[in-house]
Amino acid sequence: MFMPQIKPKYFGDVPFVEAAKWILTGFFFKLYVANNLNEMTSYMDFPLYETLQTQDRWLLVFLYSYQIYADFFGYSAIAIGLALLFGYRLPVNFNLPYASISFSEFWTRWHISLSSWLRTYLYVPLGGNRRGAFRTYLNLMIVMGLGGLWHGAGLSYLMWGLLHGVLLVIERPFIPRLQSIDSTVFRAARISVVFVCVTMLWIFFKLPNFDHAISYLSGMFTPNTNPNPPKLFYNLALLYSLPVMIQHLVSRSLFERTLRGAEPYLYGLMAALMYLEAGPETSFIYFQF
Amino acid sequence: MQEISVVRWFVKCGFSAVTLLLACGFATAWFGNGLQLPSTTTRDGTLITLNRYAKEPVPDVVLVGSSLTFRLKEDYFATPKLRNLALAGGSPVTGLEIVANQPRLPRILLVEANVLSRPTDTALVERYSRSGAAEPLVFRPIRTAVAAYENWLHAPRSHTEASLTLHRLLAQPPSDFDNRIYADRALQQSNAEDPTVAAQMNVRRIEQLMSAVEQRGARVLLFELPYSEKLEDSRSAKITRELVHAKFPDAARWLRIDLTRRELRWADGVHLDERSAVIVTQSMDRALSSLLSQR
């Protein structure tokens, strides 16, 4: 895909509008969503999380889920936009992953470059699904375990990968039956289950110390009697998460039908908001991997 | 044709961006301090507190300190014209430097002497040490909307308005919250820390600033907030206490805080809980009333 693109480039071929849309979207997700949410999710760090109310532990896990997506999606979108300015079209790295109806679909929508690499160079050479059910499950566990370790040599990352492997293994025999049920409500329920499970597993990502991750997780199911818990502003959390929600919930065709004329104005507002409402500067999360 | 549509797209995009930026720019110029609504983050809180101090008339009493003093809310104090410039996560010396660099000084400056291991925030000192120091916060539509809503829900209270709540709080028994995990961790951290070098520098700087401020007519007093018994004996607390008392041995240099320790609680092992903070402020009020009546 990339190699054929190495050839002379012409200024007139540069898709400026498309590049601008990618870059603006990327910066908006990073500066407005991820950096602002980061200020709240810093309470998930050890030992701050121990002072949190139980419901706030739950809220922060979901906010971290939005944050890591916005951070990494933003990073990838900026790269795609910049590459377009140089005449190169990079593959899309995220395709609305939180709208996935199964764990296997999630891995075709999240960090597509890594998951494609793992499939091509690890899962397929290991035999893929060609050597019977048991070997398929084993291959999935190996690939996901190594995928976890790719992020860092820690028990938390390994657990994160292996637990994703377990979810893939559990759902695999049921996929044909699940796909035969044609119901919007059932589809919404499946999306919710996948989103909640994926979100819960981000705890191992946020807290690379395994003991801390387990401690955080167990605190989500026990009441905290701390009389002075930190105050989180729920309305601010909602407003900073909103772009991720809108992106996943509003269908592209509906957007194009109703707001196509307003598109440049909306991008302009995003540009202004990412300056006015930028959260405190932080590195991209994926810089640590 | 395509070029025109590309240019048109960018013009429309730029127009809406500039319009929103200009609107927020005008709002900043128009509202000024009116934008300093309740803070939604610690950093916001610091800027709002310092902006307010730089813009408002000089109070009689100013407290500077760390997060320990930050817990002593202004509406807990009966002393009028009192401002708490303690910076959560910051050093008392930062606040002292900022106040000392202002053209007019309060009558009494109270400096917390508990946490002296942190460096001065030079960027903050520089920012608030210029003439007309307050920097308007740029109008941030989302945060302003949220802050306005929070302000509407929890309007800031005066001491009189708050006194009923404070009385009710004081009538309750001390909290029975089990803080052992937090207290043990705080003790561990405090024992691991050696604040000698940083505290020596800060104590020297406090002495210099005290002398400069007192030459201009203000009075500077140090105060120590009570720690839990375990933490009082920790390595960091002991070293800091010894250094600061060696430099300022005169009892007249200290604000006397008389209180019954068994009434106090530290929910997270370090900071006073709300009821304890009220008890401490009442004791400080008593000491301040005799000081303020001296002139």
pLDDT tens, A119-145?
Answer: 999 999 999 889 889 999 999 999 999
- Judged by CB atoms closer than 8 Å, whether chains meet at B12 and A264 is answered as yes
- Name the residue facing A265 among B16, B139, B181 (closest C-beta): B16
Query: Tell me, what's the pLDDT at B42?
Result: 64
Condensed to tens digits (0 to 9), the pLDDT of residues A141-155 reads: 999 999 999 988 889
The mean predicted confidence, pLDDT, of chain A is: 91
- Judged by CB atoms closer than 8 Å, whether chains meet at A266 and B273 is answered as no
Residue bearing the bigger pLDDT, A2 or A288: A2
State pTM to two decimals: 0.78
Our measurement of the distance from residue B174's CA atom to the centroid of its chain's CA atoms, rounded to an integer in Å, reads: 25
Rounded alpha-carbon distances, angstroms, from residue A137 to A112, A115, A127, A129, B149: 21, 17, 11, 8, 52
Domain interval for residue A187? 3-221+230-288
Judge contact between B199 and B240, C-beta under 8 A: yes
Query: Tell me, what's the pLDDT at A127?
Result: 92
Query: Tell me, what's the pLDDT at B43?
Result: 64
Among candidates A173, A152, A171, which has minimal Cα distance to A163? A171
Annotated domain spans of chain B: 1-35, 36-292
- Judged by CB atoms closer than 8 Å, whether chains meet at B146 and A271 is answered as no
Contacts of A265 in chain B (CB under 8 A): 12-13, 15-16
Query: Tell me, what's the pLDDT at B134?
Result: 55
Establish whether A151 is a catalytic residue: yes
Low-confidence ranges of chain B (pLDDT < 50): none
Judge contact between A64 and A195, C-beta under 8 A: no
Query: Tell me, what's the pLDDT at A275?
Result: 92
Query: Tell me, what's the pLDDT at B132?
Result: 53
Which CATH architecture describes the domain B36-292? 3-Layer(aba) Sandwich (3.40)
Return the ∠ at Cα B130 (arms to B127 and B131), rounded to 5°: 145
Query: Tell me, what's the pLDDT at B16?
Result: 96
Contacts of A227 in chain B (CB under 8 A): 175, 177, 267, 273-274
Looking at the 3D structure of chain A, how many domains does it have? Answer: 1
Query: Tell me, what's the pLDDT at B41?
Result: 61
Judge contact between A202 and A68, C-beta under 8 A: yes
Judge contact between B165 and B212, C-beta under 8 A: no
Query: Tell me, what's the pLDDT at A246?
Result: 94
Query: Tell me, what's the pLDDT at A272?
Result: 96
Return the ∠ at Cα B8 (arms to B4 and B12), rounded to 5°: 175
Contacts of A225 in chain B (CB under 8 A): 177-178
